[in-house]
Amino acid sequence: MNLALHIGTQALTYVRTEEFQLKWRSLYERCPCVTACQHPDFVTPWYELYQATFLPVIVAAEAEDDSLAGLLTLALYKNGTKKLVGAGERQAEYQCWLETKDTGNTFIQEAVQKIRAHFPGVDLCLRYLPPGIPLNWILDNREYAKIFSLRSHPRPIMKIDEAAMSSQWSKKKYRRNFSRLKKSGDVQFERITGHDQFIRVFDALCIQYDFRQGALYRYMPFSSDPAKKLFYLELHKRGLLHTTILTVDEEIAASHSGLLSHDSTVHMGINTHAPTFAAYSPGNLLLSMLGVHLVKEQIAMLDLTPGGDGYKENFATEHDVVFELTAYGDVEARLRKEAFLGAKRFLKRRLQKAGMRTADVWTAIGKLTRFKELGFHGSLGCLREAALSSSRVYRLCADPPSSSAKPLSISKDCLTDMFQFDSRGSLITRWEFLSMAMARLEKSNHLYSFRRDEKLLMCCWIDVRSGGPNQQPPGEDAAFSENAVVLFDLYVHRQLKEKELIQCFIEQIVFELKGCHNNKNVYFSGALSDELQAVIKQCGFCDESGKRDDFLPVTTWRRYAGFFSKGIKWMQQ
C-alpha cells in the first residue's frame, strides 16, 4: 500500500483530476458506513470555496492494482489554530476516513502516524464518527490511550416505516395544527428537485435560518459566511441535498435541507420556519409530513443527528451511538484540554439547571460591552432617558391629514429589514432586538418597517386585539377593555431628523390598518420624546394618558430582572 500526503495547492490539483475522482467514487461505494460528507461532490467544492480559510490536507493510499485503498480528507486552520478537522468542518456532520475492508485498519493507523510526524503538536479532531466505523485499533492500543480521546454521543434516528410514519402523522396535535393552518390558506408540501426552483427559494430559507439563529444564539451562519450559500447551492446542483418545503399560499412556512447518503439516509440539516406561522408549529408539521414522504421515496432512515434537542426526541423511533475522536498533539495537551472541556461541560450543565442558556451569558456580556461602547456619559444619558420615560396612551381621534409627501416603501414582517437594526447609541443590542422580534412575531404581532441605504430607519409594532378583560397590551401592565389595534414600540434611527418622513411613515400604517380593521379603535402606546409626541398628535392621535389610570409606566430594568434573578439563583446553588 503506497501512502502519500498532499497539502495545499498540490492537494487541490490532486483531487481535481478526473482519474482521482473516479477512484474516489469507487472507494466511496465500497464503504457503506460513510456518509455524504465523505463524497467527492461534498469535499471537492468545500475545498474550493474555503481555501482562503483552510489548508487542504489529504492522505491517500493506493493498492497494488492502482485503485484507491484508503482516503482521509482533512483541513488545517489558516488562522494559526493548531488543529486539523475533517473536510467540511462544521458543515460536515460526520467526519471519517474511507478504507477498504481488506486493509485491516492499516491505512488509518499509518495515516495518523504520517500526519503526526508532519504536523507535530497539532490536534486532530473528527466529529462525529458515523456508526460502523472500526475503532478497535484505538481501543486495543495502550499508547493511543495517552493521546487519544474517544467520546460517545447518543444519536436519535427515525426509521422510516410506513405504518409508523402514518401513525405519527395521525397524532392529534399534528392533525389539529394542520387543520388550523389550512384555514390560513392553501397548504402544500413538496420536495424541491429542480435546481432552478431551489435557487429561487433558497434566499428565503437562508433569511429564515439566520433570523432564528441570530435571535437564539447570536450568530447568523449565512450572513457571516458568504461561501456557505454557494456551497449549499453546489450541493443541491450535485444531487447531495434533499430539500422539502411547506408553503401556505406559496409563502414558505417551514423547510428542511439535509444531506442524502447512499440514497438511503437523509440527515437532519437546516430547519427553518417563518415566525409568523409559529402558532401552528410548522417545523414539526413539516418533519411529520417528511416521514410520510420518505416512505414514498423508499428512504430507510431520517438521521436526526446528535445534539439533545427536545423536538428530535419527539420524532426518534430509536437511538444508536456516534463518537467524537480527538488525537492530541502530546500527553500534556490532552490533560490540559480535557480538563478545560470538562469544566466547560460542567458549567453548561449548571446553567441549564438554573434555566439559562450559554447564549444568555453572552447576552449579558454584550450588554456590558454596550455600556463600554457608549461610555460613561452616553450610558448615563440612555439610562436616565429610560428611567424618566413613561408609557403614554394615544387614541386615534381624527383621520390623519393627507400628506403631500411621496409614499414610502414600507415593509410588513420583513426579516431582512430587521437584520439592518443599528444598535449604536442604543442600550439594546442587535441580538436582543432580533430575539424580541422573534418572540413578538410568534405571538402574532406585526412589524412595519422602513429601510434606506441598508439601514433600518423606522419600525413600529402592531398588535391586533380582540378585546376581553385578560387581554394585555404589549409592554403594559393594564388591559384594553375593547377591540383595538395597538401601535407600540416606535423605533426611529438616531440619525433620522426628518419629521415629515416620520409622520408619513405613521400615517401610511394607520391608513392601512383602518382599511383592514375599520371597526376597531386605533391606539398608540409607548414612551416617546417630545418631538415624536408632536408627530403622533399631528397624525390624528389624542393623548389619553391623563384620562385613564390603568396604564402604568414601563421601566427598562424589568426586561432583565428575570435574567438576573436566575443568575443569582445559579450562583447560590
Pairing of strands 265-267, 301-303: parallel
Apex 430 CA angle, 218 and 447, nearest 5: 110
Q: Is residue 563 part of a domain?
A: no
If asked whether residues 357 and 426 sit together in one domain, one would say no
pLDDT classification of 342: cutoffs 50, 70, 90: confident
> 433569511: which residue's cell?
207
Is 6 in the same domain as 152? Answer: yes
pLDDT digits (tens, 9 = 90+) for 260-318: 999 999 999 999 999 999 999 999 999 999 999 999 999 999 999 998 788 999 999 99
Q: Give yes or no: residues 181 and 132 share one domain.
A: no
Q: Maximum Cα–Cα distance for the chain, whole Å?
A: 93
Q: 418-474 pLDDT, tens per residue? A: 999 998 867 788 999 999 999 999 999 999 999 999 999 999 999 998 654 344 544
Question: What is residue 234's DSSP assignment?
Answer: H
Closest Cα partner for 206 from 238, 231, 240, 237? 231
Cell of 111: 495515516
Of the residues 299, 320, 353, the one at which a domain ends = 299
Predicted confidence at residue 565, as pLDDT, reads 52
Residues 173 and 148 placed together within one structural domain of the fold: no
The residue among 107, 127, 156 that closes a domain is 156
Q: Cα 280–286–290 angle (5° rounding)?
A: 155
pLDDT beyond 50 at 555: no
What is the rounded average pLDDT for all residues in the chain?
87
3-state helix, strand, coil in the chain (%, to 5): 45, 25, 30
Burial code (b: 16+ CB inside 10 Å, e: under 16) for 69-78 equals bbbbbbbbee
Neighbours of 457 (CB within 10 A): 22
Within this chain, do residues 140 and 200 fall inside the same structural domain, yes or no? no
**Contacts with 204 (C-beta within 8 Å, 6 or more apart), sequence order:** 252
Can you give the pLDDT at residue 409?
94
- How many structural domains does the chain have? 4
Kindly report the pTM of this predicted structure: 0.87
Q: Count the neighbouring beta carbons within 10 Å of the beta carbon of residue 34.
A: 24
Q: Is position 565 within any domain? A: no
Helix axes 18-29, 9-16, angle to 10 degrees: 80
Tell me if 352 is assigned to some domain. yes
Distance of CA 458 to the CA centre of its chain: 25
478 pLDDT band, cuts 50/70/90, is very low
* 130 and 231 belong to one structural domain: no
Alpha carbons within 13 A on the beta-carbon side of 207? 17
> Is residue 315, in this structure, part of any structural domain at all?
no
Q: Check whether residue 176 and residue 122 sit in a common domain.
A: no
Q: Chain centroid to CA 338: how far? A: 28
Lowest-pLDDT range, 81-95, 240-254, 396-410, 507-521?
Answer: 396-410
Together in a domain, 151 and 7:
yes
- Provide the residue type at 431 as one letter: W
Per-residue pLDDT for 560 more than 50?
no
Q: Is the pLDDT of residue 481 over 80?
A: no
Is residue 305 in a domain?
Answer: no
Residue 74: pLDDT band with limits 50, 70, 90? very high
Cα–Cα–Cα angle for 284, 437, 280, rounded to 5 degrees: 25
Supply the CATH number for residue 129's domain.
Answer: 3.40.630
Residue where a domain terminates, one of 156, 176, 203: 156
| Sheet of 455-465, strands arranged across | 411-412, 446-452, 455-465, 484-492, 521-526, 392-396, 541-543
Mean pLDDT confidence for 153-161 = 96
Name, in order, each residue with C-beta under 8 angstroms of 88's C-beta and a sequence gap of 6 or more.
37, 42, 43, 46, 75, 95
In a domain, 541, yes or no: yes
Three-point CA angle 257, 258, 263, nearest 5°: 125
Q: Is residue 566 part of a domain?
A: no
d(CA 260, CA 258): 7
pLDDT of residue 527: 87
Domain span holding position 14: 2-156
d(CA 210, CA 215): 8
Neighbours of 566 (CB within 10 A): 15
Residues 493 and 520 in one domain: yes
Query: Is residue 18 exposed (0-12), middle (13-18) or buried (19+ Cβ within 10 Å)?
Result: exposed
**How do strand 270-273 and strand 446-452 relate by DSSP bridges?**
unpaired
How confident is the model over 121-135, as pLDDT tens digits?
999 999 999 999 999
DSSP 8-state symbol, 401 = P
Q: What is the pLDDT of residues 485-521, one digit of tens each?
A: 999 999 999 899 899 999 999 999 999 998 888 888 8
Q: Is residue 246 part of a domain?
A: yes
Rounded distance between C-alpha atoms, residue 4 and residue 389, angstroms: 70
Please give the C-alpha separations between residue 106 and each of 26, 38, 56, 84, 171, in angstroms, as whole numbers. Answer: 19, 19, 23, 21, 50
The answer on 197 and 141 residing in a single domain is no
pLDDT of residue 379: 54
How many Cα neighbours within 13 Å face the side chain of 185? Answer: 10
Query: What are the φ/ψ torsions at residue 511 (nearest 5 degrees)?
Result: -60, -45
Distance between alpha carbon 73 and the CA centroid of its chain, in Å?
Answer: 27
Claim to verify: residue 132 and residue 52 sit in the same structural domain: yes
State the pLDDT at residue 470: 40
Whether residue 151 sits in one domain with residue 166 = no
List, as one string, the DSSP characters of 94-148: ----EE-GGGTTHHHHHHHHHHHHHSTT-EEEEEEEPTT---HHHHT-HHHHHHE
Closest CA to 301 of 243, 256, 245, 259: 259
> What distance in Å separates the CA atoms of residue 91 and residue 214, rounded to the nearest whole number?
18
Backbone phi, then psi, for 122, in 5-degree steps?
-100, 135
The CATH number given to whatever domain includes residue 482 is 3.40.630.30
